[in-house]
Structure 1
Amino acid sequence: MRKKIIVSFLVTYGIFIACIYFYLFIFHTDTIPAELKGTSVDPERFLTAHEIVLSEQYSTVRNFLFFIEVPFEWFFYLLILLFGIGNLFEKWANRTTPFTLIHNAIFTFCLSFLTFIFFYPLKFFRYTLSKNYGISTQSFHDWMRDLLINFWLDWFLLFIVVSVLYWLIRKSENRWWLYTWFLAIPFVVFLMFIQPVVIDPLFNDFYEIKNKSLEEKILSLAETAGIPSEHVYEVNMSEKTNALNAYVTGVGSNSRIVLYDTTLEKLNEDEILFIMAHEMAHYVEKHIYFGITGYLSLLFLLLFVVAKLAKKVIKKFGKLLHISSMNNLASLPLILLIVSVLTFATSPISNVVSRQMEMRADLYAMELTKNNDAAVSTFQKLTKTGLSQVNPPTLVKWFRYGHPTMLERIQMAERYGD
């Protein structure tokens, strides 16, 4: 039975890879409608012929990696379940210590380490790809440092979540998912609060913007938008990437306006002010809080479905998957598998909501700056530095794009005020 499931999955996975390859590399080409040739959305207007080729190659490979990596993750969890690896980790942890917290720490570390090893080749390929196409500027040493920091951070968060989750499962087999959701609300808000001052500095150095004249203009823009902020922060992303970005992060007193140093180097003043106005829009229109609300609403649905579905799967296939009950830590890979599948299935809906908020932020920025020319040139430079596609394939837009496509953003900027 186990062999049959694995073979069936691999055959289906192979067919899926072939279909995605045909769709991305053969069926679709990054073209724009004929009537838009020669307009501001035409890549030939702001990219060289070489950059157009690089953009198509880089974006297509990245999109292909995304679509093959998702079911690859499902296969990973499936192997753990079918071979009873989670069950072995739990038995080993039980023999090692009688203390539940240490037991949880050992189990989550083993699972996290196995995950790290299994997915490392894909992560390294992504790093190499980005490096070869001139997007990443990060040395291998620094990349590994960030990867290891991220590993320990993910393990620590997983340890906390698992410890609370399984304590609730053992206390209430039927309502654990609801109690988990209630506890997730303050936990998510707390993470958002500490992220700018605790988590982000683990990966990058933040300091007050050096260009004080520009800072005054940004703060003036923030004052017009009603955003309480005394400083604009700069982050040294040029050590890692050539890409451009800026963001408003955090909640409450830890809210921050942050600019990549690459953005300061490669955009002119008007373009920087447009980007900052866009990010300020997320603050003004409470998009951060809408995002938290949306995430928690989705989490409520996910936990409910996981609770019902996992119970049925264990009842029917528990012996095959080496899980005797939900109380066992060995059921964690099953929970993660179900969450991964549901997250992927619902991502088009999440992306639609995100694209709407990003579009509103673009409109707000143009209303605040009164400079749609700066908007157009900004989008063109973002495309150029990130080797992005102006008009990506429909499936890519549905599953990957939390922002409108560059074609849509440039068109909207040009039409603004008409």
Structure 2
Amino acid sequence: MSRLLLFVIAAMLIAGLPTEMLFAQSGSAAFDVEQASRAYIDTLQGADLEKSNSYFEGGYWLILWGALVGILVDFLILQSRLSARFRDWAERVTSRKWLQPALYALPYIIVGFLIALPWTIYTDFFREQQYDLMSLDFGSWFGEQMVGLVISLIMFPLLVMAIFAVIRRAPKTWWIWGTGVIAIFLFIGMMLGPIFISPLFNEYNEMAEGPMRDKIVAMAAEYDIPAENIYVFDQSKQHKRISANVSGIGPTIRISLNDNLLERTDPDEVAAVMGHELGHYVLGHIWRTVFILSLIMAVGLFVTALVAPRLIERHGGKWGVRSISDPAAIPLLSLILTAYFFAATPALNSLVRITESEADQFGLDTAREPDGFAKVAMRLSEYRKIEPGPVEEMLFFDHPSGATRVRMAMQWKADNVANPVIQNPGKLEKE
């Protein structure tokens, strides 16, 4: 310690001022955003870092292989003339044109599910178990797959019935009206999902009274967000990822936290997560998402409307597909859309990542818990690569990377916290 510093301390003691003021100011002047960020980022090391990177980077290939599997499944259904047989069966059951696409969809969904099942088992069960991210045994996991299949057998027939009604009535502009149909289904799904779909997979219970609930209610009240319904759901039975959301529209709005968030994190982390989720609601991300997805879907349907008739003209006889208004064309439409969405993956990721970054900023401003936010970002690194390159993050990340989020939190801390101090978080628990 220099003589000058000793002299200043002595002067403060004589003046009756607390010495903590001096050290706090010294810490503020020395606060370095990058150093503070590295204190968090560098807690992920060795085998944990390797495992996180391996899991997430493997997902890059899954995007490609998943698209190829989807295309292959639809191609097999077309090439084997199964699609034509499904159509013929629907026509035998009913002569009503409007109902035939819905009936066609039933065997199409089941056969597609069965053909893709080995791939689904590997990617959604065995690979998750391999990286210690799955809590379900195979029987329980498969049971949830069956629930999802039943939901598909209800929703998809309704959707294709509406789409094909549009195709029959407006064969040249069906892609415009089809976009509207899909937007309506998205809206209905977001409104009814929290009430009818989510409870099929998890049990939702009202959050117990206490300081944490009071904090969430206060944060919600600040922005006039309905907070009468705050639920905790038992997602630990499926995996150990932390999660929360503000879901629903209008009368179905609810705030939900999974039990992992409450059990694996500290109160400052819970507040940071909820600030982020409230941001999605306040910033209108639900409506923006519906609008942007509808625009992206409009482009996809336009491409499909251009390409599908030409392929049917060339190969329809071999496939048994008569025209684009024939339900047997469903695998072809699906195949084209799968290829389109694969090509659009970077754009989709970037659009989502931008909204997530906006919610991050809102959460920091609302919860005012930069260190809690940084700790959450590090916990998410269990299954997200912590520090990708900029091009890698742009192409493959639908959320900001952990390093990006930690740096945002530390910059917010430097800009908004009086006398910020660099924390030494140590190694976060990996439960």
Pair 1:67 & 2:60 matched = no
Structure 1 match to 2:175: 177
Structure 2 match to 1:281: 279
Q: Deviations over 1:342-401 (max 9, x none)?
A: 112222112212111111111111111222122111211221xx3321124667634542
Q: Distance in 2 between matches of 1:130 and 1:107?
A: 33
Structure 1 match to 2:247: 249
Pair 1:387 & 2:383 matched = yes
Q: Distance in 1 between matches of 2:335 and 2:256?
A: 35
Deviation at 1:256, TM superposition (A): 1.2
Q: Distance in 2 between matches of 1:341 and 1:131?
A: 29
Deviation at 1:198, TM superposition (A): 0.9
- Cα 1:396–1:80 change in 2 (3 A) is farther
Alignment of 1:312-327 (within 5 A): 312-327=310-325
Q: Deviations over 1:390-415 (max 9, x none)?
A: 12466763454211111211111111
User: 2:203, 2:234 within 8 Å by CA — same for their partners in 1?
Assistant: yes
Structure 1 match to 2:408: 412
Structure 2 match to 1:29: none
Structure 2 match to 1:111: 108
- 2:365 pairs, out of 364, 367, 371, with 367
Structure 1 match to 2:222: 224
The higher relative CO (CA closer than 8 Å, separation ≥ 6) is in 2
Query: Secondary structure in 2 aligned to 1:257?
Result: strand
Q: Distance in 2 between matches of 1:42 and 1:343?
A: 38
Structure 2 match to 1:272: 270
Pair 1:84 & 2:81 matched = yes
Deviation at 1:278, TM superposition (A): 0.5
User: 2:101, 2:164 within 8 Å by CA — same for their partners in 1?
Assistant: no
Q: Deviations over 1:293-341 (max 9, x none)?
A: 1111222222222122212222233224432211211111111011111
User: 1:219, 1:231 within 8 Å by CA — same for their partners in 2?
Assistant: no
Deviation at 1:102, TM superposition (A): 6.0
Query: Secondary structure in 1 aligned to 2:387?
Result: coil
Q: Distance in 2 between matches of 1:388 and 1:47?
A: 12
Deviation at 1:81, TM superposition (A): 2.2
Structure 1 match to 2:356: 358
- Cα 1:202–1:60 change in 2 (3 A) is same
Structure 2 match to 1:16: none
- Cα 1:398–1:112 change in 2 (3 A) is farther
Larger Rg: 2
Query: Secondary structure in 2 aligned to 1:207?
Result: strand
- Cα 1:157–1:206 change in 2 (3 A) is same
Structure 1 match to 2:397: 401
Q: Distance in 2 between matches of 1:88 and 1:173?
A: 24
Q: Deviations over 1:3-54 (max 9, x none)?
A: xxxxxxxxxxxxxxxxxxxxxxxxxxxxxxxxx9986447873235232232
Q: Distance in 2 between matches of 1:108 and 1:394?
A: 42
Structure 2 match to 1:15: none
Q: Distance in 2 between matches of 1:320 and 1:397?
A: 43
Residue 115 of structure 2 aligns with an amino acid whose one-letter code is: F
Number of corresponding residues: 381
Unmatched tracts of structure 2, length 5 or more: 1-32, 416-431
Q: Distance in 2 between matches of 1:324 and 1:365?
A: 53
Q: Distance in 2 between matches of 1:270 and 1:44?
A: 18
User: 2:271, 2:369 within 8 Å by CA — same for their partners in 1?
Assistant: no
- TM-score normalized with structure 1 length: 0.85
Query: Secondary structure in 1 aligned to 2:255?
Result: strand
Alignment of 1:60-209 (within 5 A): 60-100=57-97, 103-126=100-123, 127-209=125-207
CA RMSD of aligned residues (A): 2.3
Structure 2 match to 1:57: 54
**Percentage of identical aligned residues:** 24
User: 1:63, 1:396 within 8 Å by CA — same for their partners in 2?
Assistant: no
Query: Secondary structure in 2 aligned to 1:204?
Result: coil
Q: Distance in 2 between matches of 1:361 and 1:166?
A: 38
Alignment of 1:43-54 (within 5 A): 45-54=42-51
- Cα 1:170–1:350 change in 2 (3 A) is same
User: 1:234, 1:261 within 8 Å by CA — same for their partners in 2?
Assistant: yes
Q: Distance in 2 between matches of 1:395 and 1:325?
A: 42
- Cα 1:37–1:136 change in 2 (3 A) is farther
Residue 406 of structure 1 aligns with an amino acid whose one-letter code is: G
- Cα 1:186–1:75 change in 2 (3 A) is closer
Q: Distance in 1 between matches of 2:188 and 2:285?
A: 17
- Cα 1:66–1:180 change in 2 (3 A) is closer
Query: Secondary structure in 1 aligned to 2:344?
Result: helix
User: 2:41, 2:403 within 8 Å by CA — same for their partners in 1?
Assistant: no
Question: Which stretch shows the higher mean deviation, 396-405 or 205-214?
Answer: 396-405
Unmatched tracts of structure 1, length 5 or more: 1-35
User: 1:41, 1:390 within 8 Å by CA — same for their partners in 2?
Assistant: no
User: 2:244, 2:274 within 8 Å by CA — same for their partners in 1?
Assistant: yes
- Cα 1:398–1:121 change in 2 (3 A) is farther
Deviation at 1:86, TM superposition (A): 0.7
Q: Deviations over 1:145-200 (max 9, x none)?
A: 11011111112211111212222222332232233233333332122111111111
Q: Distance in 1 between matches of 2:183 and 2:102?
A: 23
Q: Distance in 2 between matches of 1:290 and 1:173?
A: 29
